[in-house]
Structure formats: structure tokens, C-alpha cells
Amino acid sequence: MSILVTRDTRVICQGITGKVGEFHTRGCLDYGTRMVGGVTPGKGGETVADLPVFNTVAEARDATGANATMIFVPPAFAADAILEAVAAGIELVIAITEGIPVMDMARVLPVVHASQSRLIGPNCPGVITPGQCKIGIMPGYIHTPGHVGVMSRSGTLTYEAVWQLTQLGHGQSTCVGLGGDPLVGSSFIDILALFQADPETHSILMMGEIGGSAEEEAADYVKHHVTKPVAAFIAGQTAPPGKRMGHAGAIISGGKGTAEAKLTALREAGIEVAESPADMGAALVRAVEKRRR
Amino acid sequence: MKIHEFQAKDLLRAAGVPVLAGKVALTPDEAAAAFTALGTPVCAVKAQIHAGGRGKGKVQGGEQRGVELAKTAADAKRIAEGLLGNTLVTIQTGPEGQVVRQVFVESGCAIDRELYCAVLVDRRVGSPVLIASTAGGMDIEEVAAKTPELILSEPFDPDRGLGAYQARVLASKLGLPTASWRHAESFFRTLCQAFVDLDASLLEINPLVLAKDGTLVALDAKMTFDDNALFRHKDLVALRDEAEEDPSETRAAAAGLSYVKLNGTIGCLVNGAGLAMSTMDLVKHHGGEPANFLDVGGGANVTAVTEAFRIILSDTHVKAVLVNIFGGIMRCTTIAAALIEASKTVGFTVPVVVRLEGTEVEEGKKILAASGAKIITADGLTDAAQKVVAASKA
């Protein structure tokens, strides 16, 4: 099973004729993803990596039967690209683009939530079901098929965690990059619900960050709705207050969103907490073993 | 991007939000002249720095506060003298403080009550939200922590704006006299509109004042903007005051690097914000203190890495550097070549510990080993952290 994407997912790339879009389309093809086409307004009829390019998402969907899209459209136009994908009825919209204005996302999210589409990102590495389907920019080879569901607000930190899991012999069911922006399409809770319902996912590893309250809300959800073992790491435990650390989301202000508050909430929900970033994979193993006892 | 209070008030005034008349002064004489020109019995003389808490803050080695009332032109001059060119330390500046380069002289106002309001984007709700409280002028974080029921909140759609009814709900809950409700409707709705139109990320009015004449006035204004939206606000970019920013951070931004200076001795060079924060955590976990946060981004090339080393090594507190790269899209061979180039052009004046993982890692390690560059290689996060902490203390 896995969540969100499988070997049957049919994927298009919005922004496929751009340098980055083309590069990662090829990367996904190499991994074995069923890429079926791309969209760039005004470039319909061309081909990229032997895939047909369409002028609109609706045309691409009609011609290819695509049910997922990977968006590399530049930030100024990315919100519109998301809305176009939603309007065309694409089920899974994965926005990789970094740097979309927050107000644009505030306009997009109500439309997404009122639709049948699910949005992952923006400013995220994408989604991968190892051995089946990779939609995004993550290096495929560090993953291995298995039963740990992984989700995170950060890209390279997810790679680090996945690599540790792989080396410890724990494969992954699906890895989801939620995105580092203040407003993103899917939350930890949305993905926790999917992992909990997925029979192939036996345990869950999540990486959060300082700032906001998403991790606290996730902890509360785990406490009441998740029966599978969960481990977590919070990045930025030593970051000074009020400093923006790259991710717009990672700002602490006035004691809200501190690492300490998040760690407490996680522990109270019975989640195994990784003490350091070197301990993420091991924390997951501890969470699984504790449950066995 | 942050701006000064007087700049925020210019923007608010232009948007139709009531603010008091005021003038910027760069010298004590200008402050005295501003007092006379404003012609009100009392003026506030306010230090203009990119940090809050000015009212309670004091200049280094003195009793002068960041905001004081002047009743005469001579008062205004004296207060300006106490501030200009001096370093103001507030709860938000840290102990090192910030130099005051200009003051804002603002006319007085007959205050009935002090309130608080702010507009920001609420991640949980997924939309902008107007927050208000009767606890004006106070430390709002403390209010939120101790008496959350005093914090009122109304989310709104960016395109529809704040509903008039929402403004009335707030006016009622804030206990404003009904005669002031139409002022409140106008004030709150205009404020929210300005927030959306300017792509702000925070617009905080503390205190918001109910004046004796029943109107609402923004007595202070703190405004920051969404950096990602500045491309459509060229006029706002002109308001940037680089003197208020850390020069290394400005330089890093120009090179496409995300850099935040900290106070430790271990320089960090990492790809990805989450991993960069985690690397700082790791350093601290092993008894070291990070000197900075530095995310070279996904597309780091030789130029960016070289510049990153220049910036890190220009910090004289740095005793060792940890390079932690998880190559995904960025190949380890690229970063290895960039490191060798940086070692030649910048020169490694302190020990450099390198941990590479990911795409083309074996080739990358070979390149580093063959180069003879003065680099300590590490396997895995723990090994890297232990080596860099040891090197920094050697």
C-alpha cells in the first residue's frame, strides 16, 4: 500500500521546460516514476525527456490521465499553478517551489481545502514511496522499501533521517516533505492520519522544527488517534529566540513554539524523542522495541 | 525585512490608518526644532532601532530610556542627545544593544485607554488574523501566556478583508464606548487591508490608543515584511536600513546564502535549513557553541562556498569549522571541489572538519584526500561533532 503515491500514480510536471523542472523530471523517470507529461503555457506540442508538453493542466490531464502533479513554477506564478492543478481536478498536488509569498498561500489554501485535491508543500522536497514512485528532488538511492512512515518540515534533515533508517535496516513505506513555509497544504496531522490507516506503515518518524504549534498539535493527535509507535526530532533546539533560521516557519517568539514546549508535548504523548540529530533512526528503533515489550 | 517605526507610520498614514504627526531627527538640534514645529504641549522622543522594548530599554552605561516624553524643545534636545550615537539595550537587542542613529519626535495625544492589536498570519488557521487585547502597552507575550482569555482573535480572508461585523465584535469585547465603534470599524479594517496590500508578515500596534476624543490612534507601529513578496514591492525595498542589519548577514544574502551570526566558536556550513539547525544542535549536544547558522542552499557552487568560508572565517571568534553536507541534488564531488578551491583562495586559518554524505560521496572523499588540503574528515554526525568540538578547544 503506502500512502499518497504508488507505482500506478501518473505524474505530470508543471514547469517541465525550465532547467530545474526538466532536471528533476528526468530524476523521477530514472527512479521509475510514471511521469506522463508536463505543462508550460505556450510550449504545448514540445517534448521534454520524451514526454509531451501541454499548454494547460486540464489538457495534460485529459490526454494522459494524470492524477498527480509536481510543481517547479517560479515563486511569482506558483500560486496560480497550484490553483490551475486544483481546478483541473488533479488529486495530488506537490509544490516544490521555494519562496512563494505567504499571502498568495493564504489565498490558495481555502480553495484547496474546499476541493478534492490534496496539496503537499510548498517549499518541500516532495513525496517518495521507495521502490515505486518518487515525486520531488530527494536523492532516491538513500531510501529503501519498508514500513516506517517518515514526515518532516525540512528537506536535507529528512535525507539524514532516512539514511539513518536505511543503515539500521529499517526501510520506509512513504516519506513526505511537508514544507518549511508558514502556510503549507498538509500538516503533520493530515499525514499521521494517512500513516495510521495504512497497513504497510508500522511505525512513524517525524522531524519538526521550532516555531509555530504544529508539533504540539501533532503530539496531541498521536495521543488520541495513533496506535503505531512514533519517534520524533525537533530541529533548532539551540537556536536563539527571534532569529530566522532559513525556514520562514522557524521563528520563536515570546516562548511560543520553543523546542522545550514541543519536546514536552511529544514526550507526554508517548513519543520517543531523538536526543540529537544523530539519534533519529535509533529513536525510531527504540520506539518500535518499546512497543514489542 | 524590518523597517523603522517612523517608516511604518508613513505607510500606515498613506493607507488611511490614524497615526500622530511626527518628524525624524538626526541631531539634537533637529529634535528641538521638530518639537517646536509640531506645536503640541508634549512630544515623545523615540529611538529608532529595529528592535522592540525601547520604552523599558536603557542606553549602555546610563539611565536614558529609549522612549521619553519632552515638554519643551530643550527637553527634546536633551533626550535626543542621550540617545543619538549611543547604544540602546532592550530585551530584544540582546546585551550588545543597537546604536541609535535617528530619533522620531512625535506629537502627544490625550490618552483614555491603552490597547493592543496586531495583524499576522496564523499558521494553524491558514489565514491572516487580527489580534487585539485590552492589555495594551504591556508585554503581550506575557499576557498571552498568563491570561490567554484576554487575547481576542479574528481571522480574515485576504481578498474579502476584515468584516465590519468582526471589527464591531472586537470593539464590543474590548469594551470600547459605542460612540467609538465606527472609528474602530474603520481603524481595524484599514489596518488589515494595509497588512494584505503591503505583504506584511507582522503589523503590531502596541499600544493602540483610545484617545479622549473617542478616536483610535496607532501610538506605536512595528512592521516586518515577507521577504518572498518583496519582488512586487520595489518601493518597500528602498526602506531597508542596512545600518540596522549585521553586515555579514547582508553580505551572505547577496551571495544567496542564509546566514545568522551567533556567539559561539564553531563555524557551521551546511546545506538545508533543517539540517543546519540540527547541526547547531549537534555541536551544542557535544559541548561546543555554534558561531553561526549557515545554509548554503541546494545549488551551492564554488563561488557560494568560497564566500561562505570568507564570511565564517571573518568572525574572529571562530576556532574551528564544521562542514556538514548531505548531498541530494548537490553532489559531494561539487562540494569537495568547492572546498579545495576555498582552501586555496581563502586559506583555512582554523581546523576544518568535513562530513560528507549522499550523492557521489565516495568520489567526493577521494577528491578531498588527493588534494592534500588541510581538512579533517569525519564519518557520520557524531564523529564530526566530536572532532570539531575537540579541534575548537585544542
Residue B18 pLDDT class (50, 70, 90 cuts): very high
Long-range CB pairs of B146-152, under 8 A, 24+ apart, other chains included: none
In tens, the pLDDT along A127-146 reads: 999 999 999 999 999 999 99
Quick one: what percent of chain A has pLDDT higher than 90? 82
Q: Is B121 helix (H, G, I), strand (E, B) or coil?
A: strand
Q: Looking up cell 571573518, which residue turns up?
A: B314
Contact A160 B380 (CB under 8 A): no
> Which pLDDT score, from 0 to 100, does residue A223 have?
96
- Distance between CA atoms of B264 and B279, rounded to whole angstroms? 13
**Residue range B8-36: average pLDDT?**
97
Q: Is A247 a catalytic residue?
A: yes
Question: What's the whole-model pTM score?
Answer: 0.91
User: Quick one: pLDDT at residue B330?
Assistant: 77
Closest-CA residue of B relative to A179 is: B274
Neighbouring-strand partners of residue B216: B210
Contacts of A208 in chain B (CB under 8 A): none
Which residue of B lies nearest to A157 if distances are taken between CA atoms? B275
Q: Identify the residue among A20, A102, A183 best suited for mutation to test binding to B, counting B beta carbons within 10 A and taking the highest.
A: A102
A254 pLDDT higher than 90: no
Pairing state between β B222-225 and B200-211: antiparallel
Encode pLDDT of B337-349 as tens digits. 989 988 888 888 8
Q: Residue range B136-146: average pLDDT? A: 68
Q: What pLDDT is attached to residue B140?
A: 67
**Interface confidence (ipTM) of the complex:** 0.88
Residue type, A57: V
The number of beta carbons lying within 10 Å of the beta carbon of residue B149 is: 7
Rounded to a whole number of angstroms, the distance from the CA of B210 to the nearest CA of chain A is: 26
Of A281-290, B219-228, B299-308, B312-321, which gets the smallest average pLDDT?
A: B299-308
Cell numbers standing for residue B261: 551570526
From the list A101, A156, A250, which residue is nearest B272 (CB)? A156
Task: Give whichever of A108-122, B244-258, B325-339 has the largest mean pLDDT.
Answer: A108-122
Confidence of residue B258 (pLDDT cuts 50, 70, 90): confident
**A76–chain B Cβ distance below 8 A for any pair:** yes
A267 close contact with B: CB closer than 8 A? no
Q: Which residues of A touch B283 (CB under 8 A)?
A: 238
Q: DSSP assignment of B6-36, as one string? A: HHHHHHHHHHT--B--EEEESSHHHHHHHHH
Taking contacts as CB-CB distances below 8 angstroms, the residues of chain A near B201 are 102, 248
Quickly tell me which residue has 545568522 as its cell.
B260
- Shortest Cα distance, chain B CAs vs residue A276, angstroms: 6
Query: Among the options A24, A143, A170, A247, which is catalytic?
Result: A247
